[in-house]
Structure 1
């Protein structure tokens, strides 16, 4: 099969590799769509911290946002899975430790992460092996495009739920990227008044076209109280700004990861009685976001600017973007191209 393989910082190619053989309790998924994200770009550039802590190494196969069809069953897998449209969790916990038993498999010390951690191959390939216990069936109303947005959607749903903003209250989302806009869409669907903060006018204009008229730059942000703030930006200076902007006694949620430490004055947290929450993965939000996509409460597909083939992934990860793709933040890959 064809797969996108990163061999060193800035070096990758499409290679012919053996088709994976699913082990006991695993299936082989024929990948229909896979998303690329900032984590993939950091692995491609060599900046991702896992490369420097021994949790990942080259060569590696990227891709953790995906949807596809179950093509082959491993031993001991229920035959009813064959042919089903699915997506799945990225975080593959061991299932035995205290964290896994407690429902925190995304924090398992021995976890694999699809396309990210400990060598588990990713979805930028024609086929992907996945343990069946981490699969999520996709209803007929969720196509492959939306299905490949379930993983980032699960992250966004967890962030919105962690912010604890009620209908009619005001939420500020920092960063109009894929996660930030998914947060905005999910919160707006719950009746929350959503504001978006960004830096570049094209991305803010795109947010306005999605329906978020209250999309601002730092200079135009109105001096109104925000009942919750989600930092989905990855900018090292914005976590502290989030704490400044949130109403006393409310919550800030950190889901963006900066490339350098992000200083936050904990005295501000104490004096304002603010709760700060970090969100690592979408694991606990996957089922909920599938339900919302299936019901049409949220349509994530306008976030996809284009779908490319495997041969175009390296330029995309290096930052190349065609003008005709517009300002939508997400790019998808069809491994069959």
Structure 2
């Protein structure tokens, strides 16, 4: 089968590889759509921290935002998975340790991440092997575009749930990339008053197109009471800004990761009685994201700028946008092309 293989920093090519075989408890998925995210781009560039810690290595096959159809079953898998449209969890825990048993498999010490770590092949290929325990079925109302947006949607939904906000309360989202815009969409669907802070004019324009009138740059940000702030950026200075802006007794949720360490003044954290929350992975939010997409309360499709074939993936990983791309931050790949 054809698969995108990253062979070293800045080097990737489509190769003919052996198709996967479903082991016990696994299924084979014919992949139909894959999203490219910042983690994939860092793996391609060589900047990803896992490459330096030994958790990831070259050659690697990226791709962890995906959907497709189950076409083969391994031993012990229920027959009704065959032919179903699915997406799946990126984080594969050992299933035996105390973290996994407590429902926190995404922070298992031995977690393997599809398309990211421990040599687990990703979805930028015609087929993918996945444990049946990681699968999430997709209803007919969730098309290919939304199906490949479930994984980032699960991350964004977890961030919003971590704010603890109720309908009518006010949220500020820092960042107008995919996760920031998804977080805004999920928050609005819950009746939360949403504002976004960005620096990219294109991202701010898209936010306004999506109906968010409160899309600001830092100089124009109004002095309002922010009951929670979600940092969905990759800027090292924004966690401190989030702490500065949030209301006393509010919450700061960090889901973005900067390339260099971020610093906050814990005196502000304590004296404002602020709760700070970190969010890793979308595992616990996948089902909720699917429900929101299926029911129509969240339509994330405008975030996808273009869908291209596997041969164009290396250029996308290098930061090149397809000539026909729209304003959205996300590029999708169809491995069948």
Shorter-chain TM-score bucket reads: over 0.9
Separation (CA, whole Å) in 2 of partners of 1:336 and 1:323: 20
Tell me how far apart the structure 1 counterparts of residues 307 and 327 of structure 2 sit (CA, whole Å): 14
How do 1:182-193 and structure 2 match up within 5 A?
182-193=182-193
- Which TM-score applies when normalising by structure 2? 0.99
Report the counterpart of residue 262 of structure 2 in structure 1: 262
Q: Distance in 1 between matches of 2:92 and 2:119?
A: 12
Match of 1:168 in 2: 168
Structure 2 distance, partners of 1:176, 1:137, is: 29
**2:244 is the counterpart of 1:217:** no
Provide the residue aligned with 2:305 in structure 1: 305
Cα distance in structure 2, aligned partners of 1:221 and 1:192: 18
CA distance in 1, matches of 2:259, 2:317: 16
- Partners of 1:224 and 1:324 in 2: how far apart? 39
Pairwise CA distance, 1:164: 1.0
Report the number of matched residues.
337
TM-score normalized with structure 1 length? 0.99
Show the counterpart of 2:37: 37
CA distance in 2, matches of 1:144, 1:119: 26
Other-structure match for 1:67: 67
- Between the aligned partners of 2:78 and 2:169, the Cα distance in structure 1 is 45
Cα deviation per residue 1:210-248 (whole Å; 9 max; x = unaligned)? 010100001111111100000001111100000001000
Partner residue in 2 for 1:207: 207
The reply on whether 1:272 has 2:279 as its aligned counterpart is: no
In the alignment, the residues of structure 2 paired with residue 42 and residue 156 of structure 1 have an alpha-carbon distance, to the nearest angstrom, of 20
Separation in structure 1 between the aligned mates of residue 283 and residue 324 of structure 2, nearest angstrom: 34
* TM-fit CA distance, 1:324: 3.5
For residues 322 and 39 of structure 2, the distance between their equivalents in structure 1, rounded to whole angstroms, comes to 21
Do residues 56 (structure 1) and 19 (structure 2) align?
Answer: no
1:93 corresponding residue in structure 2 = 93
Q: Is the 8 A contact 2:306 2:322 kept in 1?
A: no
| 2:244 is equivalent to residue 244 of structure 1 | yes
The CA deviation at 1:122 is 0.2
Q: 4+ residue stretches of structure 1 with deviation over 6 A?
A: none
